[in-house]
Amino acid sequence: MNTKLLWFALALLFFLPATLEAKKKRVNKTFQKSYPIITRVPMDFDFTVEDTDGVLQIVFIGSLYEADVVVTDKNGTVVWEETSTSIYEGKTVCIPNADDYPYALEITSPVMDVSGEITLEED
């Protein structure tokens, strides 16, 4: 009788924890890496050009930082150049004796590149 009780106690000690472990709900833990949220904002960069009394005026309406700006005439001669400059809204560039149309305008910045041609419109 004591042997049966001993075998029963041993069986209870070994099998009971195994059955309780099997009945537990297993939760799979997954870890998600969190990445910073990057939102894209449309850039609104524009400029206007006017030729008044032989002076070419370029007025920037948008803003860019650390931009390289180069204006060249039709012969490829650099008329105006600024490197690593901040273009803010309302910045005006005046080029005197503007006769060599078309002019090429190139703006290079870490955010965007802009290239364009300035031509003379006859009234």
Q: Is residue 97 part of a domain?
A: yes
CB atoms within 10 A of CB 17: 10
pTM of the model: 0.60
Closest CA to 108 of 77, 87, 92: 87
Coil, strand or helix at 46: coil
Secondary structure letter of residue 41 according to DSSP: -
For residue 71, what pLDDT is reported? Answer: 92
For residue 26, what pLDDT is reported? Answer: 63
User: Is the pLDDT assigned to residue 31 strictly greater than 70?
Assistant: no
For residue 38, what pLDDT is reported? Answer: 59
pLDDT category, 39, cuts 50, 70, 90?
low
- Structural domain containing residue 71: 47-118
Q: Is residue 26 part of a domain?
A: no
Per the structure, how many domains does the chain have? 1
Q: Is residue 71 part of a domain?
A: yes
> pLDDT tens digit string along 74-110?
898 999 999 998 888 888 988 887 788 888 999 888 8
For residue 34, what pLDDT is reported? Answer: 66
- Burial (CB count within 10 angstroms: exposed 0-12, middle 13-18, buried 19+), residue 69: buried
CATH code: domain of residue 85: 2.60.40.3080
Q: Is residue 95 part of a domain?
A: yes
Coil, strand or helix at 19: helix
Closest CA to 74 of 108, 119, 121: 119
